[in-house]
Structure 1
Amino acid sequence: MSYRGMLADERRELIELLRGLTEQEWETPSLCAGWRVRDVVAHLLTDTLGPMAYATAIAKNRGSVDRVNGALAESFAALPTAQLVDKFDREGGRLSKYSPRLALSDLMVHQQDIRRPLGRPRTIPADRLIAVLSYPDPFAFPGKRTRGLRFVATDVGWSWGDGPEVRGPGEAIALAVVGRTVVLDELTGGGVPELRRRCV
Structure 2
Amino acid sequence: MATVRTLARLERTEFADLLDNLTPDQWAMPSLCAGWTVRDVAAHTVAYLDQSLVRLGANMIRYRGDIDRLNAEGLRRSDGLDGAELADRMRRGSEPAGAAALYGGRVALVECLIHQQDIRRQLGLHRTLDTRRVRVCLDYARLSPVVGGRRRTRGLRLVATDMDWTAGIGPDVCGRGEALLLVMTGRAAAVSGELHGEGVRLLR
- When normalised by structure 2's length, the TM-score is 0.88
Unaligned runs of 5+ in 2: none
Q: Within 2, Cα distance between the matches of 1:59 and 1:102?
A: 20
- Asked if 1:177 corresponds to 2:194, the answer is no
- For the pair 1:117 / 2:122, whether they are aligned, the reply is yes
- Closer, same or farther in 2 for the Cα pair 1:54/1:158, shift >3 Å? closer
Structure 1 residue 114, shift from structure 2 partner: 0.7
CA RMSD of aligned residues (A): 1.8
1:46 & 1:122 partners in 2: Cα distance?
Answer: 24
Task: Say if 2:109 is the partner of 1:104.
Answer: yes
* Counterpart position of 1:16: 17
Within 2, Cα distance between the matches of 1:43 and 1:77? 11
2:78 match: secondary structure: helix
Report how many aligned residue pairs link the two structures.
Answer: 196
Name the structure 2 match of 1:165: 172
Give 1:148 deviation, angstroms.
1.4
Q: What does residue 154 of structure 1 align with?
A: 161
Task: State the SS of the aligned residue for 1:139.
Answer: coil
TM alignment of 1:29-178, pairs within 5 A:
29-47=30-48, 48-50=50-52, 53-54=55-56, 57-58=59-60, 60-91=62-93, 92=95, 93-99=97-103, 100-136=105-141, 138-178=145-185
When normalised by structure 1's length, the TM-score is 0.89
Q: Which residue type is aligned with residue 150 of structure 1?
A: R
Provide closer, same or farther for how the CA distance between residues 182 and 96 of structure 1 changes in structure 2, counting only shifts above 3 A: same
Could you tell me how far apart the structure 2 residues matched to 1:165 and 1:2 are?
A: 31
Distance 1:11 1:105 in 2: 10
Report the Cα offset of residue 78 of structure 1: 3.3
CA distance in 1, matches of 2:121, 2:12: 17
- 8 Å CA contact 2:19–2:83 kept in 1: the answer is no
Q: Larger deviation: 136-145 or 171-180?
A: 136-145
Separation in structure 2 between the aligned mates of residue 16 and residue 77 of structure 1, nearest angstrom:
21
User: Structure 1, residues 125-158: CA drift from partner, whole Å, max 9, x if none?
Assistant: 1111111111115423222211111011111111
| 1:105/1:49 CA distance change after superposition, 3 Å | closer
Q: Which residues of structure 1 form unaligned runs of 5+?
A: none
Residues 165 and 191 of structure 1 are in contact (CA less than 8 Å); yes or no, is this contact kept in structure 2? yes
Counting aligned pairs with the same residue, the percent is 41
In structure 1, how many angstroms separate the alpha carbons of the residues matched to 2:54 and 2:99?
Answer: 15
Cα deviations by residue, 1:33-62 (Å, 9 ceiling, x for unpaired): 111111111111222344565456445534
